[in-house]
Amino acid sequence: TTPTWTKLGNHASEIASKTHLKTLLKDEERTKSLTYTHNGVYIDFSRQNATVETQSMLLDLARECKVEEKIARMFQGDHLNETEDRAVLHVALRAPRDASIFDKGNNVVPGVWEVLDKIKEFSARVREGQVTGVTGKPLTEFVAIGIGGSYLGPAFIHNALENDPEVLKNADGRTLTFLANVDPVDCVNALKHLDPERTLAIIVSKTFTTAETMRNARTVRAWLTKNLGDESIAKHMVAVSTNLKGVEEFGINPENTFGFWDWVGGRFSASSAVGALPLSLQYGFDIFDKFLQGMRDIDEHVSSSPLEQNIPVLMGLYNVWNTTFLGHSNCAILPYAQAL
């Protein structure tokens, strides 16, 4: 514990017993002090059961815990993932082309852009009909096969974007399906709605050994070879993986493999090839690049804003306040937009 941690514990007892949110909301100055905006993002902390003093104490706690220093260390490539002794460099996945972010003395940004450029070029060729299936038909039905972090982020983005007018226009009748269920019946049912001649399967597995993913991948491979022959594997399957040997043994052309790195955590992988490839095939790389630009903007906000103006830091501090000090074990997330 720290001195401020102890103060916050005593303060929480006072807030819980004496303060009602209805009373707090009558204070207009408090409301102004606890609302923030950043490039179209508006966040209102005035609905929290907290005072301006609470926030000030939470910021003191952040300083005592050296949060600013740890943010800087993350961007510098320090191994903040102590369990696996790894850097935490998802910010490098959306860094500007000319940025320098290091892991073990190597600037990882050029490698990130090498993969992004490859995805941009490949997805454009597929969408323009330059890359076709074995029968010469264009590939317009995409199946992303993964599980956990290799599926949840890209699927969330797809569901959030698919009804946007600009995005819908870019899809132009293409479809994107995600296969993550370990139940083989779900896989078979999904394939019923696809035309093998137009299908491109994307196998997402860093090691190319994930049991659930490879089971579904083998099911899709069998479906393709049954309908189109063995030569269809190289034409109708691509991979997001670091295991080039495993990819080639599976029958996929290693040139159609898109890599990522061990410093990409599963929950952050949507901005890597894990999300970039399926979403660029479905919607075009320019749409995915806008997503990266938005993430980059928030990354820059986090790295450059003082703690008292740093929205993600404040969100984290209020989570600590609610869970640890007020004892709230549940968090309600209530999106009013159906896409979210």
Q: What is the CATH number of the domain that holds 205?
A: 3.40.50.10490
253 in the same domain as 212: yes
Classify residue 79 by burial, with Cβ atoms within 10 Å: 0-12, 13-18, 19+. Answer: middle
What are φ and ψ of residue 137, in 5° steps? -80, 150
Helix (H, G, I), strand (E, B) or coil at 330: coil
Residue 267 placed within a domain: yes
Does residue 339 carry a pLDDT above 90?
no
Q: How far is CA 133 from the centre of its chain?
A: 30
The 8 Å CB, 24+ separation contacts for 5-8 are 5/61, 5/64, 7/57, 8/54, 8/57, 8/58, 8/61, 8/321, 8/325
270 in the same domain as 224: yes
Give mean pLDDT, residues 79-89.
89
102 in the same domain as 58: no
Please give the pLDDT value at position 337.
Answer: 84
246 in the same domain as 176: yes
Provide the CB-side half-sphere exposure for 124 (13 A, CA). Answer: 9
End-to-end CA distance of the chain: 37
Q: If residue 125 lies in a helix (H) or strand (E), which one and from where to where?
A: helix 109-127
Give mean pLDDT, residues 186-209.
93
10 in the same domain as 106: no
270 in the same domain as 152: yes
Amino acid at 141: E
270 in the same domain as 150: yes
Q: pLDDT digits over 286-305, tens only?
A: 999 999 999 999 999 999 99
- The residue that leads in pLDDT, 116 or 149, is 116
Give mean pLDDT, residues 114-133.
98
201 in the same domain as 290: yes
Cα separation, 20 vs 85, in Å, equals 45
265 in the same domain as 123: yes
Cα separation, 256 vs 140, in Å, equals 17
Residue 315 placed within a domain: yes
pTM over 0.75: yes
265 in the same domain as 138: yes
Residue 74 placed within a domain: no
Give Cβ neighbours of residue 163 (< 8 Å, ≥ 6 apart): 339
Please give the pLDDT value at position 40.
Answer: 92
38 in the same domain as 184: no
| Domains of the chain: total | 2
Task: Kindly provide the residue ranges of all beta strands, DSSP E only, lying in the chain, ordered along the sequence.
Answer: 35-38, 41-44, 102-103, 106-107, 141-145, 175-179, 199-204, 237-240, 257-258
CA nearest to 25, candidates 61, 51, 7: 51
Please give the pLDDT value at position 267.
Answer: 84
Residue 76 placed within a domain: no
Residue 336 placed within a domain: no
Does residue 155 carry a pLDDT above 90?
yes
Q: pLDDT digits over 8-29, tens only?
A: 999 999 988 888 889 999 999 9
Asked if residues 117 and 220 have their Cβ atoms less than 8 Å apart, the reply is: no
What value does the mean pLDDT of the chain take? Answer: 94
Range of the domain at 126: 98-295
Residue 41 placed within a domain: yes
The secondary structure of 168-216 as a DSSP string is HHHHTT-EEEEE--S-HHHHHHHHHTS-GGGEEEEEE-SSS--HHHHHH
CA nearest to 279, candidates 164, 130, 129: 164
Residue 73 placed within a domain: no
110 in the same domain as 24: no
Please give the pLDDT value at position 224.
Answer: 97
